[in-house]
Amino acid sequence: MNKEQATKLLNAGYSISQVAEELQESNKKLYALAKKNKLPYNAPIQEGGPKENRILRLYKSGFSCSDIGRIFSQAPQNIKQILKRNKLI
């Protein structure tokens, strides 16, 4: 497995399954890599769902995108997309 490429894609906001497909690796190996290196999993967040609502509340409470990303195992870019979609940035 090309760990550098997997790390780059996960940090760019791609989900584990997207990276697995791109690199032709198993999800299991990528979850292990992400866990070992504290990389974001970037699981999809449903629009208007409870996770998105928690993200919005945390942002309004003063948490940064990187802090929220760590809490939800998301790349900061993904958090910024959610905030833009909800017109908070």
1 pLDDT band, cuts 50/70/90, is confident
**pLDDT per residue as tens digits for the range 48-75:** 999 999 999 999 999 999 999 999 999 9
Using a pLDDT cut of 90, give the percent of the chain over it.
Answer: 98
At 43, list the tokens.
């699981």
**Residue 5 confidence (pLDDT):** 97
Nearest to 66 by CA among 79, 82, 50, 49: 79
**pLDDT at residue 31, rounded to an integer:** 96
Tokens 């999809």, residue located: 44
pTM: predicted TM-score of the whole model, two decimal places: 0.89
DSSP sequence for the chain: --HHHHHHHHHTT--HHHHHHHHT--HHHHHHHHHHTT--------TTSHHHHHHHHHHHTT--HHHHHHHHT--HHHHHHHHHHTT--
Break the chain into its structural domains and give their ranges: 3-36, 50-85
Over the stretch 26-51, which tens digit does the pLDDT of each residue have?
A: 999 999 999 999 999 999 999 999 99
Q: Is the pLDDT of residue 81 over 90?
A: yes
